[in-house]
With several copies, the nearest count.
Chain A
Amino acid sequence: MLPPVISARLHGEPIASLPQDLYIPPEALEVYLDAFEGPLDLLLYLIRKHNLDILDIRMADLTQQYMSYVDKMHAAKLELAADYLLMSAMLIEIKSRMLLPRPVELEQEDDPRAELVRRLLEYEAIKLVAQKIDALPQVGRELLVAQACFEHVAKVQLPTVEMEDLLVAWRSVLERAKHYTHHHISREELSVREHMSLILRRLQQDGMLEFTQIFVVSEGVQKMVTYFLALLELAREGLVKMTQQAAYSPIYVQASEHMA
């Protein structure tokens, strides 16, 4: 097996080799990156893995290890979350501040690492306790709740839904689905979608319909136009197929699923 080509740079110098335990086969890098929940998680891993003292971090070492990771991610052309880059900047800033001479009397609380250490410890505590919570017995997993049945004397009342409820639900869906926000549903469109369902229902029953059978002339022009638009939309979404043997011969409409 050929040694991996390393294109990472540290302080502008190419690194000849990465620390052994940092080496991750390129094809596994993505999986590995997924394994970390973000820069804090990665830093904690590096600190714990190298047995560094979290309360007296050697910033130079940590920054170097972190950067070589980030560089590797770059080299593998993985899309790097901004959070990782932000952390690089923060580490470099802390490292450089530690190189500055500090007034003696401020030394204690002015340790540039203090905030980073606080965050690392807080995150680690959460990470550990999250595992503990997951280990608790849970209803639906280890806990099964008694639910024998009884004859309800009073009839169960089914929930009622008002138009208002539906509108509220639909609006909250739209607010979330950003790509739909510019796509407001109009009455005409609703009518088309309703007729799409009507046509599919009929095709489900009859299997195949002749094009003209779709339309009921007595229902008026407006209705026919709606049916026509619904048919076009169904075809566009690949839900129906229209076939014609020869010019001027009848056109048949069929649900796509029945074609197979």
Chain B
Amino acid sequence: MMQETQSIQKLKNVLEAALLTSSQPLALEEMLRLFEGKMERATLRMLLDELKSDWNERTLELVQIASGWRFQARLEYAKVLGRLSPEKPAKYSRAVLETLAIIAYKQPVTRGDIEEIRGVAVNQAVLRTLIERGWIDVIGHRDVPGRPSLFATTKNFLDDLNLRSLQELPAIDNLPQQEMEI
């Protein structure tokens, strides 16, 4: 029994070392590679849950997001840690944020679709900003003249917003829908 507890601790240590040193989230498949196929998925999940609760009262938390698991500083440290990087993180313009929202909620969409909803032309730089951030990409082309690109959000977008799936996005206000039938 004693021995088993020890070996579980060892397995958790490997996971902890891997997760603390990986700058990318780790997917279950990647973590299984650590054990060279000698571990069941169910066991891995159990170990991750234990590791998560081991860190419950600590500075970082183990979270599951779209592309896997990662450690991140608890939100309460955000302000203090922000003092380390003097340059303010980029603030996105309304054009960028609204374009992102349209792609997130209506995907896949073309540039034309976005323009239709926003009522203004979409600057190419807006789309490029989002592509460079790794938040959207082109997943195909609509089969109409001009074959416009179809944009969708990426896993990276969900990861960066701490989400596991699109369903976890804030609810879009759909209330007017019924009332709309004037």
User: Residues of A contacting B79 with CB < 8 Å?
Assistant: 153
The answer to whether B140 and A131 have CB atoms under 8 Å apart is no
**Interface membership of chain A positions 145-159, coded 1 if the CB is closer than 8 angstroms to chain B and 0 otherwise:** 111111111101111
A136-B170 contact in complex given A146-B72, A256-B143, C-beta closer than 8 Å: yes
CA distance A157 to B91 in the complex (A): 10
Instruction: Please count how many residues in chain A sit with their CB below 8 Å of the partner chain's CB atoms.
Output: 93
User: How far apart are A19's CB and chain B's nearest CB, in angstroms?
Assistant: 23
User: Residues of B contacting A180 with CB < 8 Å?
Assistant: 117
The B interface is mostly helix, strand or loop, or mixed, namely: mixed
Pick out which of these stretches binds chain B: A92-100, A168-176, A245-253: A168-176
User: Residues of A contacting B175 with CB < 8 Å?
Assistant: 171
User: Residues of B contacting A160 with CB < 8 Å?
Assistant: 89
Question: A residues 104-152 with Cβ under 8 Å of B?
Answer: 108, 111, 113-114, 117-119, 121-134, 136-152
User: How far apart are A131's CB and chain B's nearest CB, in angstroms?
Assistant: 7
CA distance A158 to B90 in the complex (A): 6
The answer to whether B71 and A166 have CB atoms under 8 Å apart is no
- A residues apposed to B, CB below 8 Å: 37-41, 54-56, 81, 83, 87, 108, 111, 113-114, 117-119, 121-134, 136-154, 156-163, 165-174, 176-177, 180, 184-187, 190-191, 193-194, 196-197, 200-201, 203-204, 238-239, 255-257, 259-260
Instruction: Apart from A127-B98, A130-B94, A138-B162, list 20 A-B contacts with CB within 8 A.
Output: A38-B118, A41-B119, A113-B182, A125-B172, A133-B97, A133-B100, A138-B89, A146-B21, A146-B70, A148-B73, A149-B70, A154-B85, A156-B85, A157-B90, A163-B170, A166-B169, A169-B94, A184-B172, A186-B171, A239-B140
